[in-house]
Structure 1
């Protein structure tokens, strides 16, 4: 529907249709608006930029909901125009600046469930990767962080955190999420992680464990900024986490105690961590996009590969690791060389039903050749 947005010096933001009829309630502003422009994030999705005497450029939805302040200047902002992902700003003091606009990807993955923020920044899309079923959750506010763990989904909004949960009798493919808890708390964190009964917040070198009522239960301080957190699981309120640091250190913690256990140390900042199903091997990617596999009992390096951006151990075979990089997806099985599964990584969603033969058969053949027949038949 074509719509006209109008901001005036009565400090209101109004919306009308092409016939001049108001289609939404007025939105109150806290400043005198001096400009308004449109920002197209995608061909199907747009936002409104408004600012003026507040010396800011503010982002609103087409429904008039405030999302975020994307630029702060030294004087009143009189003009702002966008072109693709660039934004030009003109101010009262005669200054002119050009800035780049980018909306970060906000997402979370747990086993076969993937959740991401939609392009409108206020909705969540959750997809079951095996069935392809998708559901949408409308938050009507800026979605800042998402976390998924087992049956629970956490969504961080500017002034609160909302927890959703699948029903107790739901099957493994159920997608009916219902509100479990609303925590009225304003938090600032670089990473949000979810456990069975706790929210884990990362703030530079500090890690905090909060109950679902918002109460602080534990706090850890690390020697270097935190770059990655991996939930390993365990008994509720006693789960284990792997924490990757900027200095290359990987440490393990448990939610019920304060001790930090050294695991391994790399030369560069940690970007990604995964642990195999028997917790005997760890795969790590550093900031140079190098992948390493270590034996946790001996601390011996077993494997190294460059140009890797993503890793995932197979849940059924403890020695089968999926490796992805620019334009490829491959499989690493014990001492075998990497088997390239697909040379077009983004094609994976379309070819998923056929991947079993590509992934499992080479590994099953190797198991059979080494007289490990029972494992070979599991695929």
Structure 2
């Protein structure tokens, strides 16, 4: 038995996470009271990821830009295009599916302790203010837009610094990356604690009354993950995209599903990009950026819940308005917070397109919080895994142009 445990601890991290997942489910179903202390494992894991992620982004991006040499391509234009295209198409798919399978809601009281943004201008204003946030404040509050902005500016300013300075920054970057590797090794125990807490706290009984809504939401996200994204990737790399898609879902999506935070999953995605052999110059910027603007799952959530409110109130929607909703959902999704439930507070903004009052819209947000145990998990898994997927697709596209592309099966 001891030799088996040693072998398991040194084996595939994904297999260890699956074992932790199974143990968490068994404990939650069989001895929930006696096993209650395992909850702390999940809290410690998520807390460690949240603590190290802003520091990791700051040093990785700053180091990558400071040491970047002219002529080295980072494919950022392609990555951003893929991010925006994927988010828009996800919103469009959600709108189409919502028309084919209309959902009506039983609107209870909305949450009283949350405040939704007043409009698109307010969302954009918040994004701009986050860019000019105090750097220390940005790191403390995990404001990744601010962290990214300061890291880029400092990296550019340090381009002409002495080699010893650049080496010191690189050493700090490597040290933080090493710490991340240590944290990720505890992922199996963290996932065990998280799944135990999820089942014992929320249960699944409360979700049964929202079965159709969940089916539409999760169905759209699965369709985007397994059909839309592979098509986008195929157009870029001209190879079978599924080995790469499944690797990203397996190694990024699983942890994102349980942490329910794109921001917390940044270290996991950085590690995956490194394992895929991607350029550090590119992924050190694209992954934290993706955690902010690459929000396909959020676009699905905003579109589906907004149209559910529309159908509940009997509002007629024409095709042009539906297309506008797709664009608005994509814009709102890009402004969604990278924390659990971040997309829900942007639903009132989309509802305003149809003249739905704020009090009704906030009741829709309340429904979102009720089903959030599954909706937000699937949403984050799609968002976060797609960050790596599109970063890899952009690099493999460039390799294909240069005639250096290998079969994706050898990479993934």
Q: Please give the TM-score of this superposition, normalised by the length of structure 1.
A: 0.20
Greater Rg over alpha carbons, structure: 1
Higher relative contact order (CA 8 A, sep 6+): 2
More strand by share: 1
More helix by share: 2
